[in-house]
Chain A
Amino acid sequence: MDDFIDLKALSAMTDAELLAAMEEAGMLAPWGTLQMQAAQSVMRLTELPPGSPAFTAAVNGIISKEARKGLLGMTRRAVQQFTTMNDMAGDTNKEFIWIVEGDDSTCAPCMVNAAMIKTYAEWEASGLPGAATCDGGDFCRCDLLPA
């Protein structure tokens, strides 16, 4: 298949340019969202005195969260949105079907969408996989495929 998003062009960018392009394409969450999420952990640090073992432990907790859940969520969203954007190829009226994660842990908002067909514009308005409406956020395993 031809890629709508040019992988060679992405490869030629600097790291910062690549990240900015991915955020603009919705392949990475907006920086403000990422910072708000990080702030939830950082808030704990405000009460911990300088030089205390508790401060070091809390920082280590943030590092661990960023390296584990943070990178996993970021990568999932990037890969999922890349293929959706490619399939859409700029046509927001193109129809997509919601492929649900078919396990007991699937959140209610995603289950409602199972096998539903809408245009990309409609999905964008009601919530893409991993949107704020989804309990899983960036960890959502649901997918949109061209219908």
Chain B
Amino acid sequence: MATADQLLKAEEREQARLDMFVESIEQGALEDIDDLLHHEERRDPEIFALVGADPEVTIDEYEEVPVAERDFNWVAGVSAMAVAARLQVFASHRERVIGLFSARARNVNALSLNREDLVRAAKTGISKAGIKAARAELAAPPEDIE
């Protein structure tokens, strides 16, 4: 049986792992989304079709539309394109995201607690300080085994 403290520590560790994953892809994601908005070559037409975005129209072409002609359809088109670009970048990291699914299922949801400890953990809650400490642990190089 795990304790309330162990459950919260596991929660904080997995949330830290997730935050660190997103931070690790952020710079590349910025560049990829920029590329997908301005160029059509690397776009996945199936993903763009999912959200009703035209895979052949770039943000530069939307920009050329006179201000007076930017109506609801213009806003919907640009919005769909932005969402499609984000989804394509998200999907490009699918293996690491699926890794986060597995890690959380294994390290948090597989823990067994009695009802009393579970309620205690639920009332105490996940803390930002705990997530910060978990980040430091995850970022630290493994200790040498003597």
Q: How many residues on chain A are close to B (CB under 8 Å)?
A: 66
Whether A42 contacts B75 in the complex (CB less than 8 A), given A3-B105, A75-B97, comes out as yes
Contacts of B122 in A (CB 8 A): 97-100, 114-115, 145
How long is the Cα–Cα vector from A79 to B59 in the complex, in angstroms? 31
- On whether the beta carbons of B86 and A143 are closer than 8 Å, the reply is no
**A20 to B44 alpha-carbon distance, docked (Å):** 14
Determine which of B44, B86, B98, B109 lies in contact with A83 in the assembled complex, contact meaning CB atoms within 8 Å.
B109
| Bound-state Cα–Cα, A38 to B50, Å | 16
- Our pick among B37, B50, B115 for the contact of A59 (Cβ within 8 Å) is B37
Q: Which residues of A contact B94 (CB under 8 A)?
A: 10-11, 15, 18
Shortest CB–CB separation between residue B32 and chain A, in angstroms? 8
Distance in angstroms between the alpha carbons of A50 and B126 in the assembled complex: 47
CB-CB under 8 A from A105, the residues of chain B are: 128
A99 engages B11 (CB within 8 Å):
yes
Interface string of B9-36 (1 = CB under 8 A from A): 0010011001101100110011011100
Secondary structure type dominating chain B contacts: helix
* A107: Cβ under 8 A from any B Cβ: no
Contact A7 B25 (CB under 8 A): no
B-facing mask of A85-103, CB < 8 A → 1, else 0? Answer: 0110000000001111111
* Contacts from A to B (Cβ < 8 Å): 1, 3, 7, 10-11, 14-16, 18-20, 28, 31, 34-36, 38-39, 41-43, 45-51, 55, 59-60, 62-64, 66-68, 70-72, 74-76, 78-79, 82-83, 86-87, 97-103, 105-106, 114-115, 141-143, 145-147
Q: Which residues of B contact A (CB under 8 A)?
A: 7, 11, 14-15, 18-19, 21-22, 25-26, 29-30, 32-34, 37, 44, 46-47, 49-52, 59, 63-67, 70, 74-76, 78-80, 82-83, 85-92, 94-95, 97-98, 100-102, 104-106, 108-110, 115, 118-119, 121-128, 131
Q: 27 interchain pairs (CB within 8 A)?
A: A7-B102, A10-B98, A15-B44, A16-B49, A19-B90, A38-B80, A39-B79, A43-B75, A45-B78, A46-B70, A50-B66, A59-B59, A64-B30, A66-B29, A66-B33, A67-B29, A67-B32, A68-B30, A71-B89, A72-B22, A79-B101, A82-B105, A83-B109, A100-B122, A101-B127, A141-B126, A145-B7
